[in-house]
């Protein structure tokens, strides 16, 4: 314990109702030593055995799910998504435990092509200690998304959750202890200083967060020559072609953009619509946006929670102000509301936007839908690709084939066809983050597990070793 206390505000009330002691360098170093001491035995067990242990953890999370969901609810100001996060974590552990043993190649000796007397075999060796640094928007999901496959691979893991949403770690810790995993998985609460210090202790770091922080983590990891797997921000475009079904387009655009109050990396943040259907689409989008309700004052009603991180409200307000000053029109929404001490923002539809505006260029992380018309598919593709980000994108057309034709031209790591933001709901397809949206192998699909191994070669001489004279010049 460092004695450096961090205060945490409740997103629904604005009041500081939680304080925690940030783990410092000395604390991390002790923790790392403890986990490293236990990791060897963990890695020596079979993958089936480790999966079995994780299934026990899934059961203990299930037993503690009310307490974990309640803490997450206070962290994020939303109830339904908090519960879905807990259920999703349990399902994810069970899914990985069922599938992981089949993903590793069975090691066997192979004869060399040039010299059959030399045989070789691969050994997949896990990183001993993995560091996970997570953001505040899905505190549990994004703390465990890398942790689960890392543990299954045989690594021990230290997670540094966001200082904005740290409450869930306590009840989750009880489930970790109950499953007997405390020597292999530990949470180290703290802020950026703790995150930076964690990079100095681990053998690989998985970071989910903003581009500026991701760059700092990459530089620090480079200083130690350890890999940094980065999952960063996005500015996802949605292209709606003239042939699109209008109900599908409006439903997908609205959900893809405002779910979780837009506080999701894969949120739709730019919408490009074929000019022929633009007026009709706008009308319907505005009507749908105006039907969305806050989960205030009753947390059991409505679709949108508060802004989790109050400072994000200033960023959104600044982008809206800049857009309006440059000629954008707000068709609905457009201002930050205050209820009960929290910050809220209704779905906001904007037109007359341009690529000079921050609201089109920078990540917004709010329920904002800037809409532009396009005259040709080439123009739509050019506009969608005109960004430093490349996290994901979406295309809606009359047929999957037509959407696919456009999707193949988009410079992003995942493209949803005939829906929006499917990477939030579907984690089986491998995807990498393009451009400034990240670095490293896919965290989804088989690569999500295999990235935690380094491949070692065992090379056996079954014939006579070559004498030095075989290399003689004379």
Least gap, CB of 133 to ligand NAD (angstroms): 5
Residue with tokens 């292209």: 239
Alpha helix (H) ranges present in 130-277? 141-144, 147-153, 169-178, 192-199, 211-224, 246-258
Looking at residues 242 to 301 of the shown chain, list those that interact with ligand NAD (rule: CB under 6 A): 265
- The site for ligand NAD, by CB under 6 A, has a size of 29
Q: Which residues belong to the active site?
A: 231, 265
Least Cα distance to 88 among 420, 365, 424 occurs for 424
Task: Assess 447 for contact with ligand NAD (CB under 6 A).
Answer: no
Q: With binding defined as CB under 6 A, does residue 232 bind ligand NAD? A: yes
Closest to 240 measured CA to CA, from 409, 398, 352, 397: 397
Task: Check binding of 419 to ligand NAD (CB under 6 A).
Answer: no
Burial of 466 (0-12, 13-18, 19+ CB in 10 A): exposed
Our CB check for ligand NAD shows the closer of 60 and 442 to be 442
Give min distance, CB of 433 to ligand NAD, in A: 6
Shortest Å distance, C-beta 466 to ligand NAD: 49
417 pairs with which residues across the strands?
Answer: 395
Nearer to ligand NAD, 269 or 419 (CB): 269
- 3 state SS for 414-460: CEEECCCCHHHCCCCCCCCCEECCEECCCCCCCHHHHCCEEEEEEEE
DSSP three-state, residue 206: strand
Q: How many angstroms separate the Cα of 288 from the Cα of each of 247, 349, 398, 419?
A: 10, 10, 21, 16
Report 187-206 residues binding ligand NAD (CB under 6 A): 191-192, 195-196
Q: Which is closer to ligand NAD, CB of 77 or CB of 135?
A: 135
In the complex, what is the shortest distance from the CB of residue 276 to ligand NAD, in angstroms, rounded to a whole number? 33
List beta partners, residue 205.
131, 228
Q: Report the nearest approach of ligand NAD to the CB of residue 191 (Å).
A: 5
Cβ of residue 354: shortest distance to ligand NAD, in angstroms?
23
Instruction: Count the Cβ atoms, other than its own, within 10 Å of residue 352.
Output: 16
Query: Based on CB atoms, which residue is closest to ligand NAD, 249 or 369?
Result: 369
Residue nearest ligand NAD by beta-carbon distance: 195
Paired sense of beta strands 393-396 and 348-351, if any: unpaired
Q: Which of residues 350-389 bind ligand NAD (CB under 6 A)?
A: 363, 365
Among positions 111-170, residues that touch ligand NAD (CB under 6 A) are 133-137, 142, 160, 162-163
Residues lying near ligand NAD in the complex (CB under 6 A) are found at: 133-137, 142, 160, 162-163, 191-192, 195-196, 208-210, 213, 216-217, 231-234, 265, 363, 365, 391, 433, 438
């Amino acid at each position: 314990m460092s004695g450096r206390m961090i205060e945490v505000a409740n997103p629904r009330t604005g009041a500081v109702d939680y304080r925690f002691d940030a783990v410092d360098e000395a604390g991390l170093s002790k923790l790392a030593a403890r986990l490293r001491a236990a990791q060897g035995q963990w890695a020596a067990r079979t993958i089936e055995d480790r999966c079995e242990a994780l299934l026990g953890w899934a059961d203990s999370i299930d037993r503690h799910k009310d307490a974990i969901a309640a803490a997450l609810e206070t962290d994020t100001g939303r109830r339904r998504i908090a519960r879905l996060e807990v259920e999703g974590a349990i399902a994810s552990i069970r899914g990985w435990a069922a599938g992981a043993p089949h993903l590793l190649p069975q090691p066997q000796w192979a004869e060399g092509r040039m010299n059959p007397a030399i045989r070789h075999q691969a050994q997949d060796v896990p990183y001993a200690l993995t560091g996970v640094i997570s953001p505040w928007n899905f505190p549990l999901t994004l703390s465990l998304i890398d942790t689960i496959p890392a543990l299954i691979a045989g690594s021990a893991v230290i997670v540094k959750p966001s200082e904005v949403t740290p409450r869930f770690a306590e009840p989750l810790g009880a489930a970790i202890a109950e499953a007997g995993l405390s020597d292999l998985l530990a949470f180290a609460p703290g802020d950026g200083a703790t995150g930076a210090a964690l990079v100095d202790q681990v053998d690989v770091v998985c970071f989910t967060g903003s581009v500026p922080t991701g760059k700092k983590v990459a530089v620090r990891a480079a200083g130690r020559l350890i890999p940094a797997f980065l999952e960063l921000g996005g500015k996802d475009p949605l292209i709606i072609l003239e042939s699109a079904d209008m109900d599908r387009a409006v439903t997908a655009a609205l959900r893809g953009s405002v779910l979780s109050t837009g506080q999701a990396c894969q949120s739709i943040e730019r919408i490009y619509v074929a000019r022929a259907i633009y007026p009709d689409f706008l009308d319907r989008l505005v009507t749908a946006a105006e039907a969305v309700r806050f989960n205030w004052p009753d947390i059991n009603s409505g679709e949108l929670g508060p802004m989790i991180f109050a400072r994000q409200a200033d960023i959104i307000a600044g982008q809206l102000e800049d857009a309006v000053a440059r000629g954008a029109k707000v068709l609905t929404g457009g201002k930050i509301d205050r209820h009960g001490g929290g910050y809220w923002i209704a779905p906001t539809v904007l037109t007359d936007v341009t690529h000079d505006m921050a609201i089109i260029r920078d990540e917004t992380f709010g329920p904002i839908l800037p809409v532009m018309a396009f005259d040709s598919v080439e123009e739509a593709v050019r506009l969608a690709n005109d960004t430093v980000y490349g996290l994901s994108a979406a295309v809606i057309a009359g047929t999957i084939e037509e959407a696919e034709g456009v999707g193949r031209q988009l410079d992003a790591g995942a493209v949803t066809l005939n829906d929006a933001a499917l990477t939030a709901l579907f984690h089986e397809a491998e995807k990498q983050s393009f451009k400034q949206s990240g670095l490293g192998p896919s965290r989804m699909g088989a690569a999500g597990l295999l990235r935690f191994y380094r491949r070692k070669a065992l090379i056996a001489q079954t014939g006579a070793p070559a004498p030095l004279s075989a290399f003689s010049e004379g």
